[in-house]
Amino acid sequence: IEKPLLVYTCKIDLRQWFLVTNMTPIVVWMYKEGYVRFCANSFSMKHMHESIHLSNVRLQMRYRNVRKMNVPEECMWDYEELRNYLTAIGQEHAWDELIFPGMSESVYAVMQAARDTMSYRENTFQLFGADFVITENFVPYLIEINSIPGLNPSTCVIANLAPMLLGDILKVMIDHQQNPNADTGLFVKVIPEKLKPIDQLTSKYRTFAPPKMTPSQRHQQRMDDLKNRLMAIQFQVKPEEKFSERYLGINRDNLLLTTIMSPDPKINSTKTVATASETIMNDLQSSAAEKITKLKNLYNLKSNNCGPGTGSSAQPDCDRQRGR
């Protein structure tokens, strides 16, 4: 994607969690919260450095101390912060009208296409993590889907979101099963509009195998079937026409320029200073146990209990980094 959405001149991508609770029929629940990963340095098609193009959390830890001005300390936002940013640049409708519906459409289409290759047992579920890149016109493009998304609290954003996510999974799998009107937390069910049965739509396109096929022919047949299934899945994502000029063209470019450009010619060389906790977490030579010990010493923790009533904890620092 040569023209991704840039925040403070840096490339971002989104981790979108979704839950699959049935495959016959397909039932997909999208989570309304997730996290936004930042690349530490300004986007450029002329330079292919990893700090510019790869937003992997572990990789970007190396570049937090030299990140661009305004990029968050941990190179990460939650969705709420991204929505606030979109509102600040005059694109408050982009999330609800384009980005979230587009991600829902992509996820559901992939599940439909993969239905025949997936096994399902009653009363089971699976949590997935989908990664998306957003274009400058707010169109989400699916990069990959992780079948075992990591929930390790490697940043304050993930540490705050993961417990809420796990609690809402229980609401969907237990409360909603017993009472269809029960609260499902931040999970919303994906309901495609005017979606015909996939078998009806693809029957005339299906490639039937000859009696004997070479491995390459079998592979080609599988690819053809997958392509036809994806083509057959129809969604209607209808953003309000009156808002179309807000998302496309020079009007949006001007809005972004007035938001992210600074009159200070030295702003590109400005460096931020790491916090004490960042310095500990960024130390690639220390083991996890050593980092925990250093963090305990930093916050004067004398036990492993970080809950209420234990005095100091790492949570205030997390809240401070999020501006709370």
Task: Tell me the pLDDT tens digit for each residue of 126-141.
Answer: 999 999 999 999 999 9
Higher pLDDT, 290 or 254: 290
Q: Tokens 């994906």 appear where? A: 190
Identify whether residues 190 and 281 lie together within a single domain.
no
The total domain count for the chain is 2
Identify whether residues 323 and 242 lie together within a single domain.
no
Higher pLDDT, 234 or 118: 118
Choose the weakest-confidence range: 24-28, 71-75, 185-189, 320-324: 320-324
What is residue 202's predicted lDDT score, i.e. its pLDDT? 43
Query: Is the residue at 85 inside a domain?
Result: yes
Q: In the predicted model, is pLDDT for residue 103 greater than 90?
A: yes
Identify whether residues 140 and 96 lie together within a single domain.
yes
Owning domain of residue 48: 6-195+233-273
Question: What's the CA gap between 143 and 259, in Å, rounded?
Answer: 28
Choose the weakest-confidence range: 20-24, 58-62, 177-181, 230-234: 230-234
Q: In the predicted model, is pLDDT for residue 233 greater than 60?
A: no
pLDDT cut 90: percent of the chain above it: 41
Backbone angles phi, psi at 41, to 5 degrees: -120, 160
Identify whether residues 319 and 191 lie together within a single domain.
no
Spatial contact of 232 and 198, defined as CB atoms under 8 Å apart: yes
Identify whether residues 33 and 150 lie together within a single domain.
yes
Identify whether residues 100 and 126 lie together within a single domain.
yes
pLDDT (average), residues 262-274: 44
Identify whether residues 286 and 161 lie together within a single domain.
no
- The pLDDT confidence band at residue 300, using thresholds 50, 70 and 90, is confident
Tell me the per-residue pLDDT of 18-72, one tens digit each, with 9 for 90 and over: 999 998 889 999 999 999 999 989 898 888 888 888 888 878 888 888 788 889 9
pLDDT (average), residues 78-84: 96
Identify whether residues 307 and 243 lie together within a single domain.
no
Query: Is the residue at 127 inside a domain?
Result: yes
Which of 273, 289, 304 is at the close of a domain? 273
pLDDT (average), residues 260-265: 41
Query: Is the residue at 205 inside a domain?
Result: no
Query: Is the residue at 224 inside a domain?
Result: no
pLDDT cut 70: percent of the chain above it: 68
- The pLDDT confidence band at residue 227, using thresholds 50, 70 and 90, is low
What is residue 275's predicted lDDT score, i.e. its pLDDT? 66
Query: Is the residue at 74 inside a domain?
Result: yes
End-to-end, the C-alpha distance of the chain in Å comes to 34
Query: Is the residue at 217 inside a domain?
Result: no
Residue 121 burial (10 A CB sphere; 0-12, 13-18, 19+): exposed
Here the tokens at position 225 are 């079937």
Identify whether residues 159 and 261 lie together within a single domain.
yes
Query: Is the residue at 206 inside a domain?
Result: no
Query: Is the residue at 208 inside a domain?
Result: no
Identify whether residues 168 and 96 lie together within a single domain.
yes
- The pLDDT confidence band at residue 226, using thresholds 50, 70 and 90, is low
Spatial contact of 282 and 28, defined as CB atoms under 8 Å apart: no
Contacts of 137 (CB under 8 A, 6+ apart): 247, 248, 252
Identify whether residues 322 and 291 lie together within a single domain.
yes
Best-predicted range by mean pLDDT (134-143, 243-252, 267-276): 134-143
What secondary structure letter does DSSP report for 117?
Answer: G
Query: What CATH number should be reported for the domain holding residue 102?
Result: 3.30.470.20
Identify whether residues 318 and 261 lie together within a single domain.
no
Tell me the per-residue pLDDT of 274-297, one tens digit each, with 9 for 90 and over: 567 667 766 666 777 777 788 778
